[in-house]
Amino acid sequence: KVRRDVQRFDLNKVTITNDPVGNKEKILILTPMARFYQEYWDNLVKLNYPHELITLGFILPKSKEGNAATTALQAQITKTQKGARPFRKVIIERQDFEPPLASQDESERHKLANQKDRRAAMSKARNSLLFTTLGPDTSWVLWLDADIVETPPTLIQDLASHNKDLIVPNCFQRYTDDSGKLAERAYDFNSWQDSNTAQELAATMGPEDLLLEGYEELPTYRTLMAYMELEDMNDVRAEVPLDGVGGTALLVKADVHRDGAMFPPFPFYHLIETEGFAKMARRLGWHATGLPNYKVYHYNE
Ligand code: GDP
Ligand code: MN
């Protein structure tokens, strides 16, 4: 007799393969969202991975901006879920703490002095979202920021086909240059390979100090995926090993998170948030890989 109050899951049967569509693997797309962008939603809906295998999870801050984003998000969810290709499930969470910064503007966000508090808060938001949504049948977790407005519709299959523990595309930003021409530039500097200089700097730091990337005040000489020059710049499948990763778009085997890898909201080996996550995953035996020529695009404020 089958008991309804007992559910059994054999984690060995939750496959995580390079053919997730063929094996009907369930994926959880997780997005911390401070602002709602229609371009993000339209791009998400265009993903051609079977929507019945996709669960969406959102966490939004308890703030005026967060309220507005929640309203806009809910309207789009209602529309999509009534349509021809609804997602398997959608989970919306409101954060139980206020964001540390009053302003979410790009210049304010990126000030060095604001990094520790801001990224600690981001870590907690990501962890809350992860620990409340990861299921025993989840094969993959795709972290996708709310301001990623352009990815190939095949994003999930493309990334999963590499069969890597953590895999991260190169996050760029489109802009109009001085002559009025459409151009693009690197956006995310959190995907990198470590350097001796950074290691030596870290050795001189106190336990609470962070070794952040992308700041003149902290020259790390790490090799940034954003600026890597490969022999063949057209090979979108080219892979590089990474020590730190950004989270704007990041595909993770769910086993990595199930093993306990999360986003440290404190300095962990002088790293925090997504970069700390890559380090923690590494300590658990998992490896991060970058795709320098496979680009996704961040909104331009
Ligand atoms: P940046 O692009 O690295 O400067 O980081 P963002 O400010 O864009 O933040 C990364 C992601 O987290 C985006 O999807 C934001 O919408 C979202 N976000 C930013 N701050 C908060 C917050 O306080 N709470 C939550 N839940 N999400 C946030
Ligand atoms: Mn962003």
> Relative to the CA of 190, which ligand 1 atom is closest?
3
DSSP secondary structure letter of residue 227 = G
Distance of alpha carbon 295 from alpha carbon 11, whole angstroms: 33
How far does residue 226's CA lie from ligand 1's centre (Å)? Answer: 20
How far does residue 68's CA lie from ligand 1's centre (Å)? Answer: 15
Q: Which pLDDT tens digits describe the chain residue by residue (301 residues)?
A: 778 899 888 888 899 999 999 999 999 999 999 999 999 999 999 999 999 999 999 999 999 999 999 999 999 999 999 999 999 999 999 998 777 776 667 888 888 888 899 999 999 999 999 999 999 999 999 999 999 999 999 999 999 999 999 999 999 999 999 999 999 999 999 999 999 999 999 999 999 999 999 888 889 999 999 999 888 888 999 999 999 999 999 999 999 999 999 999 999 999 999 999 999 999 999 999 999 999 999 999 8
Q: Which domains does the chain have, with CATH numbers?
A: 21-298 (3.90.550.10)
How long a stretch of residues is the chain?
301
Q: Are the beta carbons of 31 and 130 closer than 8 angstroms?
A: no
Smallest CA-to-CA distance from 70 within 22, 114, 106, 36 is with: 36
Q: Are the beta carbons of 171 and 249 closer than 8 angstroms?
A: yes
- Tokens 């979108």, residue located: 236
Q: Is 44 in the pocket of ligand 1 (CB under 6 A)?
A: no
With the most atoms of ligand 1 within 8 angstroms of its CB, the residue from 147, 191, 298 to mutate is: 147
E strands, the chain, where? 26-32, 54-60, 89-94, 138-144, 148-150, 166-176, 182-186, 192-193, 223-224, 240-242, 249-253, 288-298
> Relative to the CA of 188, which ligand 1 atom is closest?
3
> Relative to the CA of 104, which ligand 1 atom is closest?
7
DSSP secondary structure letter of residue 244 = B
How far is CA 51 from each of CA 24, 84, 85, 191, 193, rounded to the nearest angstrom? 11, 10, 6, 29, 34
